[in-house]
Amino acid sequence: MSPCVQKIIVLTGSDSPRIQAGWVDLRRRLLDVPNLEIVGVFSASDAIPAHLQADLVVVLGGDGSILRGSRQLGLRNTPLLGVNLGKLGFLADLSPDEFMTGLPLLQRGDYSIASHLMFQCRCRAVDGSEQTFTGLNELLITSGGTLRMLDISLRIDSEYVTTFSCDGLLISTPVGSTAHNLSAGGPILRQDLDVFAITPICPHTLSVRPLVDAASRTYHVSVNNAPDGAIAVIDGQITVPMQGRDQITMSRSDQTLLLARLPDHSYYSTLHRKLGWQGQLEYRR
């Protein structure tokens, strides 16, 4: 059994009218639930006070809201549960009605908590300055609007692996494997695996394939011929300009994402339902 949910924090994700209207309706319904206290409501730009204690963080919006929320929580070990007010909602996969139906189970502690890998990305510029970011989905190296092919060098730990001639490179977590990585032809990884997927985007060779390697290792990336406009992007939300000889180091973070899951949640049924994933065509009978 997991901790009984009595106190919740709500992250509204964004100030979009759709999210705010959804929150007004959900708040009205939550206020009628006995033995449940909303201890705080925060937008994406708000800092959550360190002293504020809750059993669950409810994130409103889509998967982008989950990405922001995972960074917003920092090292706080409070599980998240996403209520989908966005579009696809692969991580935030409960509708408001499904959330309200499952709320008694959460209050009884009849749910599970899954821990998911996050990464730390250290960007060191050629002038010696450094920036460090935490991500959940992926690191993307791309030429941006210049549409130039890049020569991206990859080392894992101290070993040189290869140089990819490609439009971009993705290093994805298992959670991120069903996002940009999937669209680029990378592998689908079960979310509880401790690995990273390395997927080149439009590589100029017939032989290169995506790689999967351990999350315990350290990944070093540089762009030998970085054009003006080359960038590193973390989770599609944080952008860092890149120049030649800039170094990016990616490794697992001490921070993890804790996701609350209601009983009977199935990763594979979510693949079927959200992404239309299946092993064969549905032939007309």
CATH of the domain at 180: 2.60.200.30
Same domain, 150 and 247: yes
What's the half-sphere exposure (Cβ side, CA atoms, 13 Å) at 48? 26
For 184, residues 6+ apart whose C-beta sits below 8 A from its C-beta are 170, 199, 200, 201
Same domain, 145 and 201: yes
In-domain check, residue 180: yes
What is the number of domains present in the chain?
2
User: What is the pTM assigned to this prediction?
Assistant: 0.90
CATH of the domain at 269: 3.40.50.10330
In-domain check, residue 245: yes
In-domain check, residue 280: no
Q: What is the pLDDT along the chain (285 residues), one digit of tens a residue?
A: 789 999 999 999 777 888 889 999 999 999 999 999 999 999 888 889 988 999 999 999 988 899 999 999 888 889 999 999 877 778 888 999 999 999 999 999 999 999 999 999 999 998 899 999 999 999 999 998 777 899 999 999 999 999 999 999 999 999 999 999 999 999 999 999 999 999 999 999 989 999 999 999 999 999 988 888 899 999 999 999 998 889 999 999 999 999 999 998 888 888 888 888 888 777 666
In-domain check, residue 21: yes
For 54, residues 6+ apart whose C-beta sits below 8 A from its C-beta are 7, 8, 9, 39, 40, 78
Answer whether 44's CB lies under 8 Å from 74's CB: no
Same domain, 14 and 95: yes
Task: Supply the pLDDT for residue 285.
Answer: 64
Answer whether 114's CB lies under 8 Å from 192's CB: yes
In-domain check, residue 15: yes
The active-site residue out of 46, 55, 63, 213 is 63
Same domain, 138 and 222: yes
Gap between the Cα atoms of 240 and 233, Å rounded: 6
Same domain, 20 and 149: no
Task: Supply the pLDDT for residue 245.
Answer: 86
Gap between the Cα atoms of 103 and 193, Å rounded: 28
- CA-wise closest residue to 152 among 215, 244, 234: 244
Same domain, 133 and 243: yes
Same domain, 39 and 162: no
Same domain, 44 and 91: yes
- Residue 15 a catalytic site member: no
Same domain, 107 and 145: no
User: Can you give the residue range of the structural domain that contains 83?
Assistant: 7-111+262-275
Same domain, 103 and 141: no
Task: Supply the pLDDT for residue 281.
Answer: 72
Q: Angle between the 96-108 and 17-30 helix axes, to the nearest 10 degrees? A: 40
Report the SS3 class of residue 201. strand
Same domain, 78 and 133: no
In-domain check, residue 124: yes
Same domain, 65 and 89: yes
Q: In angstroms, what is the C-alpha Rg of the chain?
A: 20
In-domain check, residue 281: no
Gap between the Cα atoms of 90 and 178, Å rounded: 8
For 93, residues 6+ apart whose C-beta sits below 8 A from its C-beta are 82, 84, 270, 274
Task: Tell how far CA 276 is from the center of its chain.
Answer: 20
In-domain check, residue 1: no
